[in-house]
Chains A and B, each alone.
Chain A
Amino acid sequence: MTEKNRPEKLVYLSVLSAIALALYLSSLHSYLLFHSLIEISTISIGFTLFILTWNARKFLHNDSLKLLGIGYAFIAFIDLLHTLAYKGMNIFTGFDANLPTQLWIAARYLQAATLCAAPLFVKRRADKYAMFGAYTLTVIVVLMLVYSGNFPDCYVEGRGLTPFKIGSEYVITGLLLISFCLFYRNRGEFDRKVFILIGVSLASTIVSELSFTAYVSVYGAANQVGHFAKLAAFYLIYRAILVTGLNEPFNLIFRELGQAQEALRKANETLEEKIRERTAELQLANERLQRELDEHEQTQETLSRYAEELQDLYNNAPCGYHSLDSDGTFLRINDTELRWLGYDRNEVIGRMRFVDIVTTRGVQTFQENFPHFKEQGWIRNLEFELVRKDGSTFPVLVSATAILDDNGAYLMSRSTTYDISERKKVQEQEHLLSTIVQSSDDAIFAKNLEGVILSWNRGAERIYGYRADEVIGQPITMLMPPGQEDEFAGIMSALQRGERIEHYATKRRRKDGRLIFVSLTISPIRDMAGGIVGASSITRDVTEQLRSEEEIIRLNRELEARVDARTNDLNGKRIELEESQRALMNIVEDLNLKTSELEEANSRLQELDRLKSMFIASMSHELRTPLNSIIGFSSILRDEWIGPVNQEQKENLETILRSGKHLLSLINDVIDVSKIEAGRIEVRTEEFDLYELLTEAVQYVDRDIREKGLELKLQIQHHVLRTDKRRLLQCVINLLSNAVKFTEKGEIIISSAIDGARPDERGGVAPLDGGEMVVISVHDTGIGIDEKDIHQLFEPFVRLESALKATVPGTGLGLYLTRKLVVEVLHGDIVCKSELGAGSVFELRIPERIDEKGFGGRG
């Protein structure tokens, strides 16, 4: 239908609508007419369905369609009876409306059963005659039941439909739903359009059945709707099977063809897949084979290259190779040997025997040795003269091993031939030289660098009296007279320097002990690389040349005298040396003694130093504690805390107090000085304000200043310092109390300043980090100091002569300690400017920062 174009579809729908309208209009005229038309239409469709299914059965491979065709024929038949029996037709008289209703129900049961069975035959095969028989039997039984009155009542006049009729309609509806489910499950076996048509037909049938449960009159509206639905259902089945199956039979055929084709395609794919797999396997096998072939080829190449190399090695070796069979005939010969001989290979192999290329003497050697060689399997360094093709000869050494067969019998030789022409020449040369040497009248011999004699000629035998076998391997010194062996070292070192000794006159001793005068010429022997390996020595006997024995004796005596003199001289020197050595030893011993004495003294000193430290430590506590009590109690007595004291008592208490304080400050000063001198003073830096420090110092002397009626002026400023506050305070207090002590009237000025001046401008100390120097000055208008005494001021226990010396207390340590503290703890300096009778200025210069270790710098 979908292929139809739109106008055609429109016409088709119009025709259907027109038919439906006509039928409706007929019902307005007579319901009987309407019923008859409807039923005839459905009956016609039923029969047509059968006829066409029957005729098309050859194309229909789906037996469910066949079953539908046959089934609908029988349904149409019962429907025909139903129509004829319908109320008002007056064909079957004597029956009321019950009969057509019973027939209707029977037909509907049959229709539902058919529709249920049809999907079951989608895949099953069924014999058409068996189908026919089954339907015929069923219809006959049903009709007999109806006409005999045994079929249950369906309609009772005046009461309407019986419960059986209504129940049956529901049962039929249920069967139709089952049928739909079965079709749905098998929908894959139908064309999609056919399945939809069957489905809609089933739905229409259900509508039809349900409307028939409702009517009261067989001419009623529900009845009419039911009939329309029935017609629609029949028409749709008709569309499904006949129009689709015959008008569009190709679809079915193509559908099946399509299915077959799909199966084929799948099979084809499977086949192709298998072919692909097989092809891949074959390809792999092929590749493997190719690889093996390549490897084989490579091996082949390697082998042939190897063979070539072997061949090359054999033919072009620097020596001759050949093989002889058991007769001595050549079986193989290499290029080198052929080149030597001047023959071609063809001339030699299988044609010549070894005896053909040797001299007559060689033939003899060969015949003597060849049988022996074959027996023992090897021969070594046989010398032959080989004869070239051109008749010339050359010497060779032949060595051979035998090749045996599996039974151990001789097969052939593998012989090597060495050309020894060069070696022969050298040997001849050597022989010649050796002959010359041997025949010389002079003694000629060689020695190595260790002085071992290596060769010895006949001249040597004559001059020295030793035979060659007596001296070769012996040291050369055996030829030297006693006492003259040290000549050897001198000669050897000259030789090692490559020097030649010519006509060296000396004495030698013969085997019989007689001394002879000789002239020696000794030359270094070099190896091929030019290194010196030994020496040749030529000795000429010159004894006969010397005029007389006496002269020799005289010379001898002179020599002996010289040796004696020299020996005495040396002995004298040796004794002197020994004496000096002894003296030196004594000095060293003395030194050792002194050293140990010093060490002892040093440890005693260290012990003393320790004792001193202990003494000072105990002083600091043991002396000060009672002294503090003396000072404390005498001060409260004097101040009359305990009770009133008279003037004399008060003065005495004053003396005790003053003496106590003096003693305490003396002790404190001594402790500080000794700590500084022992390097044990501890430096404790902290940050503080200079102004506050100076104010604090002033408080210590404030009372004395007021008592003496002096004026105190402060010209001080705030400045942050980092140094040993305690020690600085101590120094300032010392200076201030000195000023107070030695000033009877006038003023004391304490001032501070920051001095950025460089040390080279002032000549004094300077801070290491480029920070600033702080200057603290104490100025008084006291008695002053004579300029010549200023340098003594800072010495310990010095108290300058003055009018005040007797009355002013002092330890003589104050300025000494102050200076020590300023220099060694505060890393500054102190200077004094004064004039007798005009007051003094003490100026203290210190770095504004020092670090814990006591160095001026980045504190």
Chain B
Amino acid sequence: MKKVLVVEDNGDNLRLISYALRRYGYEVIAAETGMKGVELAIAERPGFILMDINLPDIDGLEATRRIRKSSSNGDIPIIAITSYAMAGDMDMVMAAGCNGYFEKPIDPLTIMDKIHALLGLSGNPANGNGGES
């Protein structure tokens, strides 16, 4: 099963994204802080990362920079999840090393199509009625 790292401090948002990811057959690893996110990105070697920008310790941009600098998993795809208020600062997001970004709110129904389109992957729901069953 493909692993995905979600770095997100809001539990509700994390749960919502996880539903969508699992539905498409991904295993979700979660980190609630930037530091933890960097650690897991290196240790677990996920297939890609969804990175919230507003985090309690180091922000998502700094976490992205640190991951990019690490030798073991430096070129992993990272997709930033940005807040509405940050609109327009996307140059900063891309400069930090992200491959792309989505603005909140996340629509669980469409997010996976967008992720696959961005990463050039293809995928369909693993089963018709959710990954939890």
Contact = CB atoms under 8 A, between A and B. Distances in A.
A608 to B, nearest CB: 23
Nearest to A682: B88
Given A627-B105, A636-B16, A636-B19, 20 more contacts: A620-B85, A621-B83, A625-B10, A628-B106, A629-B13, A629-B16, A632-B16, A632-B107, A632-B108, A633-B12, A635-B107, A641-B108, A641-B129, A641-B130, A642-B130, A643-B130, A643-B133, A644-B129, A682-B88, A726-B88
B105 A628 contact: yes
Interface string B109-133: 1000000000000000000011011
B23 interface: yes
State the majority secondary structure of interface residues on B: loop
Given A628-B13, A629-B13, A726-B88, A642 B132 contact: yes
Nearest to B16: A632
A189 B85 CA distance: 120
B104 interface: yes
28 contacts: A620-B84, A621-B85, A624-B105, A625-B10, A628-B13, A628-B104, A629-B12, A629-B13, A629-B16, A632-B105, A632-B107, A633-B16, A635-B107, A635-B108, A636-B16, A636-B20, A636-B108, A641-B19, A641-B23, A641-B108, A641-B129, A642-B19, A642-B130, A642-B132, A643-B130, A644-B129, A682-B88, A726-B87
Contacts of B12: 629, 633
Nearest to A642: B130
Interface in A610-631: 620-621, 624-625, 627-629, 631
Most A C-beta atoms less than 10 A away, residue of B13, B16, B23:
B16
Nearest to A627: B105
Interface residues of B, number: 22
Interface string B44-88: 000000000000000000000000000000000000000111011
A752 B2 CA distance: 45
Interface in A681-721: 682, 684
Given A635-B107, A636-B19, A684 B129 contact: no
A624 B10 CA distance: 13
Contacts of B107: 631-632, 635
Interface string B1-32: 00000000010110010011001000000000
Contacts of B130: 641-643
Contacts of B19: 636, 641-642
State the majority secondary structure of interface residues on A: helix
Nearest to A724: B88
Nearest to B12: A629
A218 to B, nearest CB: 117
A579 interface: no
A640 interface: yes
Interface string A631-673: 1110110011111100000000000000000001000000000
A639 B13 contact: no
A643 B19 CA distance: 12
B109 A636 contact: yes
Contacts of A640: 129
Contacts of A627: 105
A633 B85 CA distance: 23
A644 B130 CA distance: 10
A395 to B, nearest CB: 111
Nearest to B23: A641
Nearest to B133: A643
A685 to B, nearest CB: 10
B109 A631 contact: no
A621 B104 CA distance: 11
Counting from the closest, the 8 A-B pairs by CB-CB distance are A628-B105, A629-B12, A684-B88, A641-B130, A632-B16, A636-B108, A632-B108, A635-B109
Contact of B129 (A631, A632, A643): A643
B100 to A, nearest CB: 15
Contacts of A635: 107-109
Nearest to B106: A632
Contacts of A644: 129
Nearest to A632: B16
Contacts of A629: 12-13, 16
A649 B74 CA distance: 47
A644 B129 CA distance: 8
Contacts of A642: 19, 130, 132
B9 to A, nearest CB: 11
Contacts of A643: 129-130, 133
Contacts of A625: 10
Nearest to B128: A640
